Chains A and B, each alone.
Chain A
């Protein structure tokens, strides 16, 4: 597993909203099933003293982290305040923040990620489904019943696409070591390259699936430096230029980042690219 395990104590920022309270419950169901700590506290400014999803709520990350020895956070705070919340978590000394929130202004993301980096706090996301290490921990909103433990790492810019591929892998009898949603925004904390670096130090992981999409060139940057075998899928080959395909980061702009040229560049690096999702289990099976 990478980033976290069953011994990680997690707080949830934005704990009292619908999303927050619902997912605290789900994450702790998973923690219970694997014998982990899971979510130990929540944070919502002004709601300190309440309870949400069965855990106590505090006014600040500092208070919650100190009271419960927490080192990581999953964040559901709405877009306008989310950048601030990432900085708060970094300032409170947390090692890891997973930002689920979509629609954060990109200038806020740039500032928050730069600030967190200065304080040695790792940011995953924003606009991501989180992290799931089967048998260890669920930090986010992934449907855990689709996952099984095994040797394959998955890194993805998209939520449901990840579930689809994990579903296919599980049905083909291929388990996963850790599944990381890095987010669909133009600026993100951990990139494909960062997560691949973690996977290469993880003895459990033997091969990695990269699920990318149009926009930017982080897939090529990551795949180029991978020292584990990888299979790549790139979504968005039919996207028209200058149109945003759902994700803020899924856009071809100034003629850069279109899916087809991305696939061409990956292939020219000798990296296997699946043209359909259904090809992924077959390609990965040869590697593990």
Chain B
């Protein structure tokens, strides 16, 4: 789950990384009174999770006389179609130099990966394209609780020594908060010391409970509902609803729809050992999606029982045509049940997908 800038900065501050003085303002709050505690010149930043927020008009300058008006203007607006529910009013800092620092997971080595460059303030992908040699990369043994001194010296590559402790403190944040990404861009030097001018933290969805987070905000309402039922669900924008078991087989089904010229409406993995109730929920969820004209159910039962799946499909009884491919445990029983209700069944995944694409046309 992605944290917003102000949440990430609170975490950095707790970890001992300096952040600009700031205050969070929501609709109805007195921005003027808040800003008075911060200083004459301020910066107002929309708290939305979109890339290129500044260019899209989400970061505005203000002073004590205009801060209320500027805050109100942002609070009523949408940045790249995302509504602004809060703004962060911060002091303007005197930047001497901008750096980039991030810690993420390197999948090849299975270790934390630290990136640092003295060319901060722009997107790291941009630096990687134009000046790749400027980026220093180091992996850290995941069993280490601190970044070794020699690694920090390598990363800094002559940048001011005072940035070293920030690297180690961000590593602590990365570990303790179960982060997939902890990024400070830019990390700046000012006449009064170092400071994290912007921050981004993504928390591992598998660790939300132990991080005390009860709800994953990144999900759409339908995706959240799907999660409650125990399946993985992603909305796409086509007309063919897809239910499969197992992420890989479901993805392959969605892909095959596209290969055969159709448009998938979603990705829905009902998970292993799905029973009648879970299947019925899945079919109903797709049935309720506007624009879904046909549903394909592609299940290969290992521990999933085909008779349970059939009962779930029949129980849901949606208005759209449901095309079924079932293989595995209790296949015969499942087929007989579906036959009785006139459902269309095909032997292979490819035949079933082709049939669904045909119906959608």
Identify which of A47-55, A57-65, A201-209, A248-256 touches chain B: A248-256
Instruction: Name which residue of chain A comes closest to B328, CB basis.
Output: A143
Which residues of B are found within 8 Å of A163, using beta-carbon distances? Answer: 249, 300, 302
Q: A141-B302, A160-B244, A239-B251 are in contact. Are A110 and B111 (CB under 8 A)?
A: yes
Please, how many angstroms separate the alpha-carbon atoms of A142 and B267 in the complex? 23
Which residues of B are found within 8 Å of A235, using beta-carbon distances? Answer: 248, 251-252, 255
In residues 198-236 of chain A, which contact B (Cβ within 8 Å)? Answer: 211, 213-218, 221, 233, 235-236
Please, how many angstroms separate the alpha-carbon atoms of A213 and B249 in the complex? 10
A107 and B111 within 8 A (CB): no
Among B249, B254, B272, B348, the most chain A Cβ lie within 10 Å of the Cβ of: B249
A245 and B252 within 8 A (CB): no
> Residue-by-residue, is A104-134 near B (CB-CB < 8 Å gives 1, otherwise 0)?
1111011101110010000000000100000
Question: B214 at the A/B interface (Cβ < 8 Å)?
Answer: no
A111 and B236 within 8 A (CB): no
Per DSSP, chain B at the interface is: mixed
Please, how many angstroms separate the alpha-carbon atoms of A259 and B264 in the complex? 17
Please, how many angstroms separate the alpha-carbon atoms of A129 and B249 in the complex? 13
Question: A238 at the A/B interface (Cβ < 8 Å)?
Answer: yes
Question: A237 at the A/B interface (Cβ < 8 Å)?
Answer: yes
Which residues of A are found within 8 Å of B107, using beta-carbon distances? Answer: 186-187, 215-218, 249
Among A156, A158, A188, A259, the most chain B Cβ lie within 10 Å of the Cβ of: A158
Which residues of B are found within 8 Å of A110, using beta-carbon distances? Answer: 105, 110-112, 142
Please, how many angstroms separate the alpha-carbon atoms of A129 and B248 in the complex? 12
Please, how many angstroms separate the alpha-carbon atoms of A237 and B207 in the complex? 28
Please, how many angstroms separate the alpha-carbon atoms of A246 and B350 in the complex? 21
Partner of B248, one of A103, A156, A216, A221: A156
B248 and A157 within 8 A (CB): yes
Q: A104-B206, A107-B175, A247-B248 are in contact. Are A276 and B256 (CB under 8 A)?
A: yes
Partner of A238, one of B112, B143, B207, B255: B255
- Residues on B close to A: CB < 8 A? 105, 107-108, 110-112, 125, 141-143, 175, 178, 180, 204-207, 209-210, 232, 234, 236, 244-252, 254-259, 264, 267, 269, 272, 300-303, 327-329, 348-350
